[in-house]
Amino acid sequence: QVPTWYQLRTTHALSFWPYARAGGSELPRAASRVFVPIWICHALLIVKEHYTTFDNSHIRDITDSLIEHCQDKKKDVNANIQLPEEKIVNLVNDLFGAGFDTVTTALSWTLVYLVTYPDIQKKIQNESDQTIGRERRPRLHLLLYTSLNGYYIPKSLCVFINHWQVNHDETLWKESSAFNPEHFLNAEGMEINRMESDKVMIFGLGKRRCIGESIARWEIFLATLLQQREFSICDGQMVDGTPQYGLTMKHKNCEHFQIKQRFPNKSFE
Protein backbone atom coordinates (compact mmCIF):
# COMPACT_ATOMS: atom_id res chain seq x y z
CA GLN A 1 0.00 0.00 0.00
CA VAL A 2 1.47 3.34 -1.07
CA PRO A 3 1.24 5.96 1.72
CA THR A 4 -1.18 8.82 1.07
CA TRP A 5 1.52 11.46 1.49
CA TYR A 6 3.58 9.68 -1.23
CA GLN A 7 0.63 9.84 -3.61
CA LEU A 8 0.13 13.55 -2.92
CA ARG A 9 3.82 14.25 -3.21
CA THR A 10 3.82 12.88 -6.74
CA THR A 11 1.20 15.44 -7.78
CA HIS A 12 2.52 18.22 -5.51
CA ALA A 13 0.33 18.69 -2.43
CA LEU A 14 0.65 22.49 -2.54
CA SER A 15 -1.47 22.46 -5.68
CA PHE A 16 -4.33 21.07 -3.59
CA TRP A 17 -3.81 23.11 -0.41
CA PRO A 18 -2.71 26.64 -1.43
CA TYR A 19 -2.94 27.88 2.15
CA ALA A 20 -0.02 25.61 3.02
CA ARG A 21 2.33 27.52 0.72
CA ALA A 22 2.89 30.37 3.17
CA GLY A 23 3.96 28.05 5.98
CA GLY A 24 5.83 25.48 3.91
CA SER A 25 9.42 24.42 4.33
CA GLU A 26 12.18 26.81 3.29
CA LEU A 27 13.95 24.01 1.43
CA PRO A 28 11.73 23.96 -1.70
CA ARG A 29 11.86 27.75 -1.89
CA ALA A 30 15.65 27.75 -1.53
CA ALA A 31 15.94 25.16 -4.30
CA SER A 32 13.62 27.21 -6.50
CA ARG A 33 15.72 30.34 -6.01
CA VAL A 34 18.71 28.43 -7.41
CA PHE A 35 17.06 26.24 -10.02
CA VAL A 36 14.43 28.51 -11.62
CA PRO A 37 16.89 31.23 -12.81
CA ILE A 38 19.11 28.53 -14.35
CA TRP A 39 16.11 26.96 -16.10
CA ILE A 40 14.89 30.31 -17.46
CA CYS A 41 18.43 31.21 -18.57
CA HIS A 42 18.59 27.94 -20.50
CA ALA A 43 15.31 28.74 -22.28
CA LEU A 44 16.50 32.30 -22.95
CA LEU A 45 19.68 31.04 -24.63
CA ILE A 46 17.63 28.77 -26.87
CA VAL A 47 15.32 31.61 -27.89
CA LYS A 48 18.23 34.00 -28.55
CA GLU A 49 19.95 31.40 -30.72
CA HIS A 50 16.73 30.96 -32.71
CA TYR A 51 16.37 34.72 -33.19
CA THR A 52 19.96 34.92 -34.46
CA THR A 53 19.52 32.13 -37.02
CA PHE A 54 15.84 32.69 -37.83
CA ASP A 55 14.80 32.27 -41.47
CA ASN A 56 11.09 32.68 -42.21
CA SER A 57 11.45 30.53 -45.32
CA HIS A 58 12.70 27.61 -43.23
CA ILE A 59 10.74 27.05 -40.00
CA ARG A 60 12.68 24.45 -38.03
CA ASP A 61 10.61 23.93 -34.90
CA ILE A 62 7.99 25.39 -32.56
CA THR A 63 10.32 28.17 -31.37
CA ASP A 64 10.70 29.37 -34.96
CA SER A 65 6.91 29.20 -35.35
CA LEU A 66 6.42 31.43 -32.30
CA ILE A 67 8.95 33.96 -33.62
CA GLU A 68 7.22 33.97 -37.00
CA HIS A 69 3.88 34.54 -35.26
CA CYS A 70 5.30 37.57 -33.40
CA GLN A 71 6.65 39.08 -36.58
CA ASP A 72 3.40 38.53 -38.48
CA LYS A 73 1.35 40.18 -35.73
CA LYS A 74 3.68 43.19 -35.67
CA LYS A 75 3.02 43.72 -39.37
CA ASP A 76 -0.74 43.57 -38.82
CA VAL A 77 -1.76 46.76 -36.97
CA ASN A 78 -5.34 45.49 -36.69
CA ALA A 79 -4.40 42.21 -35.03
CA ASN A 80 -6.33 41.61 -31.80
CA ILE A 81 -4.05 38.90 -30.47
CA GLN A 82 -0.45 39.83 -29.73
CA LEU A 83 2.29 37.56 -28.40
CA PRO A 84 5.03 39.62 -26.72
CA GLU A 85 8.53 38.42 -27.48
CA GLU A 86 9.31 37.87 -23.80
CA LYS A 87 6.43 35.38 -23.62
CA ILE A 88 8.27 33.11 -26.04
CA VAL A 89 10.84 32.37 -23.32
CA ASN A 90 8.07 31.34 -20.92
CA LEU A 91 6.41 29.14 -23.55
CA VAL A 92 9.67 27.40 -24.43
CA ASN A 93 10.36 26.93 -20.72
CA ASP A 94 6.94 25.30 -20.24
CA LEU A 95 7.47 23.00 -23.22
CA PHE A 96 10.80 21.79 -21.86
CA GLY A 97 9.47 21.29 -18.34
CA ALA A 98 6.18 19.60 -19.20
CA GLY A 99 7.04 17.85 -22.45
CA PHE A 100 10.40 16.14 -22.22
CA ASP A 101 10.59 14.74 -18.70
CA THR A 102 7.11 13.20 -18.78
CA VAL A 103 7.58 11.37 -22.09
CA THR A 104 11.01 9.95 -21.25
CA THR A 105 9.79 8.87 -17.81
CA ALA A 106 6.80 7.04 -19.32
CA LEU A 107 9.00 5.24 -21.85
CA SER A 108 11.69 4.23 -19.36
CA TRP A 109 9.16 2.90 -16.83
CA THR A 110 7.52 0.77 -19.52
CA LEU A 111 10.86 -0.70 -20.56
CA VAL A 112 11.65 -1.49 -16.91
CA TYR A 113 8.40 -3.45 -16.64
CA LEU A 114 8.92 -5.21 -19.98
CA VAL A 115 12.34 -6.58 -19.00
CA THR A 116 10.95 -7.55 -15.60
CA TYR A 117 8.06 -9.43 -17.23
CA PRO A 118 9.54 -10.89 -20.47
CA ASP A 119 6.51 -13.16 -20.93
CA ILE A 120 4.30 -10.09 -21.37
CA GLN A 121 6.81 -8.55 -23.78
CA LYS A 122 6.72 -11.77 -25.82
CA LYS A 123 2.91 -11.73 -25.92
CA ILE A 124 2.94 -8.17 -27.28
CA GLN A 125 5.53 -9.06 -29.91
CA ASN A 126 3.67 -12.20 -31.00
CA GLU A 127 0.44 -10.25 -31.42
CA SER A 128 2.32 -7.55 -33.33
CA ASP A 129 3.75 -10.17 -35.69
CA GLN A 130 0.35 -11.80 -36.27
CA THR A 131 -1.74 -8.63 -36.59
CA ILE A 132 0.63 -6.02 -38.01
CA GLY A 133 3.35 -8.14 -39.56
CA ARG A 134 7.03 -7.35 -39.76
CA GLU A 135 6.84 -4.69 -42.46
CA ARG A 136 3.91 -2.39 -41.72
CA ARG A 137 4.49 0.24 -39.03
CA PRO A 138 1.64 0.68 -36.49
CA ARG A 139 -0.07 3.93 -35.53
CA LEU A 140 -1.47 4.65 -32.08
CA HIS A 141 -5.05 5.94 -31.95
CA LEU A 142 -6.07 9.05 -30.04
CA LEU A 143 -8.24 8.66 -26.99
CA LEU A 144 -11.91 9.46 -27.28
CA TYR A 145 -13.20 12.43 -25.35
CA THR A 146 -14.51 11.47 -21.91
CA SER A 147 -17.08 13.52 -19.99
CA LEU A 148 -18.09 13.51 -16.30
CA ASN A 149 -21.65 12.27 -16.73
CA GLY A 150 -24.12 12.87 -13.94
CA TYR A 151 -21.99 15.28 -11.91
CA TYR A 152 -22.88 18.94 -11.45
CA ILE A 153 -19.83 21.21 -11.37
CA PRO A 154 -20.62 24.83 -10.46
CA LYS A 155 -19.05 27.69 -12.37
CA SER A 156 -15.54 28.70 -11.22
CA LEU A 157 -15.16 25.53 -9.12
CA CYS A 158 -11.55 24.33 -9.05
CA VAL A 159 -11.54 20.60 -9.83
CA PHE A 160 -8.62 18.21 -9.48
CA ILE A 161 -8.56 14.61 -10.60
CA ASN A 162 -7.10 12.03 -8.25
CA HIS A 163 -5.18 10.17 -10.95
CA TRP A 164 -3.88 7.57 -8.54
CA GLN A 165 -7.36 6.59 -7.34
CA VAL A 166 -8.92 6.51 -10.81
CA ASN A 167 -6.16 4.41 -12.33
CA HIS A 168 -5.99 2.02 -9.35
CA ASP A 169 -9.72 1.64 -8.69
CA GLU A 170 -10.36 -2.01 -7.76
CA THR A 171 -13.97 -1.68 -8.93
CA LEU A 172 -12.71 -0.95 -12.46
CA TRP A 173 -9.53 -2.99 -12.63
CA LYS A 174 -8.92 -6.48 -11.30
CA GLU A 175 -5.54 -6.53 -9.55
CA SER A 176 -5.06 -2.87 -10.37
CA SER A 177 -1.46 -2.75 -9.08
CA ALA A 178 -0.28 -5.63 -11.30
CA PHE A 179 1.49 -4.97 -14.60
CA ASN A 180 -1.00 -6.49 -17.01
CA PRO A 181 -1.67 -4.83 -20.40
CA GLU A 182 -4.46 -7.39 -20.92
CA HIS A 183 -6.58 -5.24 -18.60
CA PHE A 184 -7.67 -3.41 -21.74
CA LEU A 185 -8.65 -6.40 -23.91
CA ASN A 186 -12.15 -7.77 -24.44
CA ALA A 187 -13.33 -11.07 -22.96
CA GLU A 188 -11.89 -13.01 -25.92
CA GLY A 189 -8.54 -11.28 -25.54
CA MET A 190 -8.47 -10.37 -29.24
CA GLU A 191 -9.34 -6.66 -29.38
CA ILE A 192 -9.00 -3.48 -27.35
CA ASN A 193 -12.06 -2.86 -25.18
CA ARG A 194 -12.60 0.85 -25.83
CA MET A 195 -14.90 1.29 -22.85
CA GLU A 196 -12.17 -0.05 -20.57
CA SER A 197 -9.24 1.80 -22.14
CA ASP A 198 -11.13 5.11 -22.03
CA LYS A 199 -11.27 4.83 -18.23
CA VAL A 200 -7.53 5.49 -18.03
CA MET A 201 -7.08 9.21 -17.35
CA ILE A 202 -3.38 9.84 -17.76
CA PHE A 203 -3.76 13.21 -19.51
CA GLY A 204 -6.41 14.73 -17.26
CA LEU A 205 -9.76 16.18 -18.32
CA GLY A 206 -11.31 19.47 -19.36
CA LYS A 207 -9.73 22.72 -20.49
CA ARG A 208 -6.66 22.15 -18.32
CA ARG A 209 -5.91 18.67 -19.66
CA CYS A 210 -2.39 18.08 -20.90
CA ILE A 211 -1.79 20.12 -24.06
CA GLY A 212 0.96 17.73 -25.09
CA GLU A 213 -1.30 14.67 -25.35
CA SER A 214 -1.08 14.37 -29.13
CA ILE A 215 2.69 14.89 -29.13
CA ALA A 216 3.14 12.34 -26.34
CA ARG A 217 1.12 9.72 -28.22
CA TRP A 218 3.35 10.18 -31.26
CA GLU A 219 6.55 10.01 -29.19
CA ILE A 220 5.63 6.99 -27.06
CA PHE A 221 6.08 4.58 -29.97
CA LEU A 222 6.19 1.36 -27.93
CA ALA A 223 4.44 -0.74 -30.57
CA THR A 224 7.18 0.05 -33.10
CA LEU A 225 9.95 -0.55 -30.55
CA LEU A 226 8.61 -3.98 -29.61
CA GLN A 227 7.95 -4.89 -33.22
CA GLN A 228 11.62 -4.49 -34.12
CA ARG A 229 13.57 -4.92 -30.86
CA GLU A 230 13.72 -7.21 -27.83
CA PHE A 231 14.56 -5.76 -24.41
CA SER A 232 16.09 -7.78 -21.58
CA ILE A 233 18.32 -7.55 -18.52
CA CYS A 234 21.85 -8.96 -18.20
CA ASP A 235 22.12 -12.40 -16.60
CA GLY A 236 22.41 -12.26 -12.84
CA GLN A 237 21.11 -8.71 -12.61
CA MET A 238 17.88 -7.51 -11.01
CA VAL A 239 15.56 -4.66 -11.93
CA ASP A 240 14.88 -2.25 -9.07
CA GLY A 241 11.38 -0.86 -9.58
CA THR A 242 11.36 1.18 -6.38
CA PRO A 243 9.71 4.51 -7.27
CA GLN A 244 11.48 7.80 -6.67
CA TYR A 245 8.89 10.50 -6.05
CA GLY A 246 9.03 14.05 -7.35
CA LEU A 247 7.47 16.12 -10.14
CA THR A 248 7.27 12.86 -12.09
CA MET A 249 7.62 9.46 -10.42
CA LYS A 250 10.85 7.94 -11.73
CA HIS A 251 12.63 4.63 -11.26
CA LYS A 252 16.24 4.13 -10.22
CA ASN A 253 18.91 4.08 -12.93
CA CYS A 254 19.24 0.70 -14.62
CA GLU A 255 22.64 0.15 -16.22
CA HIS A 256 22.14 -3.46 -17.30
CA PHE A 257 19.61 -3.17 -20.13
CA GLN A 258 20.18 -5.19 -23.30
CA ILE A 259 18.60 -4.40 -26.68
CA LYS A 260 18.64 -6.92 -29.53
CA GLN A 261 17.23 -6.74 -33.03
CA ARG A 262 14.49 -9.34 -33.33
CA PHE A 263 15.22 -10.09 -36.96
CA PRO A 264 19.02 -9.69 -37.30
CA ASN A 265 19.18 -11.11 -40.83
CA LYS A 266 16.78 -8.52 -42.24
CA SER A 267 17.57 -4.85 -42.76
CA PHE A 268 15.01 -2.14 -42.04
CA GLU A 269 15.03 1.47 -43.14
Residues 238 and 136 in one domain: yes
Higher pLDDT, 8 or 122: 122
Residues 201 and 68 occupy one common structural domain: no
Tens of pLDDT, residue by residue over 15-42, are 444 444 444 444 455 555 655 566 667 6
Residue 203: pLDDT band (50, 70, 90) is confident
More confident residue, 10 or 203: 203
Q: What is the mean pLDDT of residues 119-135?
A: 84
Specify whether 154 is located in the same domain as 123: no
Is 131 part of any domain? yes
Residue 112 forms part of a structural domain: yes
- Classify residue 1: in a domain, yes or no: no
- What confidence tens digit (pLDDT) does each residue in 87-118 have? 666 676 666 666 667 777 888 888 888 889 99
Residues 126 and 248 in one domain: yes
Structural domain range at position 45: 22-83
Q: Are 47 and 78 in a shared domain?
A: yes
Q: How many domains does the chain have?
A: 3
Please check whether residue 194 lies inside any domain of the structure. Answer: yes
Q: Which of 257, 251, 254, 253 is nearest to 229 (CA)?
A: 257
DSSP characters over the chain: ---HHHHHHHT-GGGT-GGGSTTS-HHHHHHHHHHHHHHHHHHHHHHHHHHHT--TTS--SHHHHHHHHHHHHHH-TT-S----HHHHHHHHHHHIIIIIHHHHHHHHHHHHHHHH-HHHHHHHHHHHHHHTTTTSPP-PPPPPP---TT----TT------HHHHHT-TTTSTTTTS--GGGGB-TTSSSB-HHHHTT--SS--STTS-TTHHHHHHH--HHHHHHHEEEEE-TT------EE-SSS-EE-----EEEEESSTTS---
| Same domain membership, residue 79 and residue 44 | yes
Q: Is the pLDDT of residue 260 over 80?
A: yes
Same structural domain, 136 and 154: no
User: Which residues make beta-bridge pairs with 244?
Assistant: 250
The gap between the terminal CA atoms of the chain, to the nearest Å, is: 46
Residue 4 covered by a domain: no
Is residue 252 domain-shared with residue 123, that is, in the same domain?
A: yes
34 and 60 in a single domain? The answer is yes
Q: Is 210 annotated as a binding residue?
A: yes
pTM score over 0.85? no
Output the DSSP codes for 236-267.
T------EE-SSS-EE-----EEEEESSTTS-
